[in-house]
Amino acid sequence: MKRRVVVTGMGIVSCFGTDVDEFYAKLLEGKSGIGSIESFPCADWPTRFAGAIRQFDPGSYMEKKQARRVDPFIRYAMVAGKKALEHGGLTAEALANLKKERCGIIVGSGMGGMTVFHDGVETLLTGGGYKRLTPFFVPYIITNMAGALLAIDTGFMGPNYSISTACATANNSIHAAAEQIFQGNADLMLCGGAEAPILPIGLAGFVAIKALSTRNEAPEKASRPWDRGRDGFVMGEGAGVLLLESLEHALERGAPIYAEYLGGAANCDAYHMTDPRPDGSGVAFCIEEALRSAGVEKEAVNYINAHATSTPTGDLGELTAVHRVFGAHTANIKINATKSLVGHCLGAAGGVEAVATIQAIRTGWLHPTLNLEDPEPLLGDLDPVAGEKKAHAVRVAISNSFGFGGHNAVLVFAPYRPLAYVSR
């Protein structure tokens, strides 16, 4: 018998701001957050747009001097993590009364402190050599520092480490954090991912492998999951952090319960650095293992928040896997693509999309998939929620994330019911 794990708080940093309800309201409106890049000159680049965060101010969530020094991915993680605590009612006295040795943090990043790294290399080569390099260079580029600084500020002394599995990072982190609670190592965990890749070296890297859309004339139409006219993904950035607790701990402190985390799984395609297995077998096995972990039959699933990056091969690989797992039951499943509105947040994507999944459970509304004008036939009888939001009572939801290297991670969420309705 596993302990039950519930979601009691959410924190978001996105191109739509830092308020969870406002973020989801913008998604439901079908409003695109993708626009021209303004933070550096790129007028002659083949891709000149992204789902960028503009004029971000961490406010009172970080001490001002530290906020200026750290890499943006750390700023995003700190704000999203502390907002998740607030969302869960853990402020002031409530936060102080926690057993801090039973509280942990697993917040990962796919690429880490890219701005600090870029600036440091530039200083080393053109700005006076090693003597001019900041002593904060190493601490602020490593992926574990976001969670470490969150722990220093909150006093959480439980399990704390980072995971880096490219675009599967946040899902891997949430899965790992839930396992800490399932196994009795912690009562409460902050978990998710953060990424800040929209700078010249980040954009150039993805341009070099021709992974990005080049629809510069209409950025808001560039992310086109499952559309036959798609030509690559759109970069995004931000952070998504969940507050997970054991059910007993949540009930004891009177926490709000937004959803239940039923289970998850992680595996590897072991096939190619960037492409998924064409037959979808690795992803299919991961979905099956996640459902087994959750103790639910595939027929219980009626919503999928897809990875759906808008790449030619990735979209088809995921659809192939979904049909392989669910068969005729796909006629009963709605599937949508958050990236069509906010871009691909890389290591933060799973955290951002977990928030969207839980908000769908809470509100009974699914946000639309944008720009699906010429659907891939492989969608079959799956409902992609094209163009406009739809009312939908979610019974069981899965959220998929897949990363370069063949990393797959799948999470399973459901509405919280006091009496467990699935066998553990």
Residue among 323, 344, 367, 392 flagged as catalytic:
344
Cα 52–56–60 angle (5° rounding)? 150
CA count, 13 A, side-chain hemisphere, 279 = 5
Residue among 167, 191, 286, 345 flagged as catalytic:
167
In angstroms, rounded to a whole number, what is the distance separating the alpha carbons of residues 71 and 146?
Answer: 9
Whether 329 is catalytic is no
Pick the closest to residue 354 from 7, 58, 5, 90 (CA basis).
7
> Alpha helices, DSSP H only, in 55-199?
64-69, 72-87, 92-96, 114-126, 137-141, 145-154, 169-182
Residue among 87, 175, 249, 307 flagged as catalytic:
307
In angstroms, rounded to a whole number, what is the distance separating the alpha carbons of residues 400 and 223?
Answer: 17
Please identify which residue in the block is written with the tokens 């574990």.
Answer: 144
**Identity of residue 149:** L
**Identity of residue 230:** R
> Alpha helices, DSSP H only, in 295-408?
312-326, 339-342, 349-363
In angstroms, rounded to a whole number, what is the distance separating the alpha carbons of residues 249 and 26?
Answer: 33
Whether 167 is catalytic is yes
Whether 344 is catalytic is yes
Asked if 338 and 348 touch (Cβ cutoff 8 Å), the reply is no
> Alpha helices, DSSP H only, in 88-144?
92-96, 114-126, 137-141
Asked if 158 and 103 touch (Cβ cutoff 8 Å), the reply is yes
Q: Return the number of other C-beta atoms located less than 10 Å from residue 331's C-beta.
A: 11
Residues taking part in catalysis: 167, 307, 344
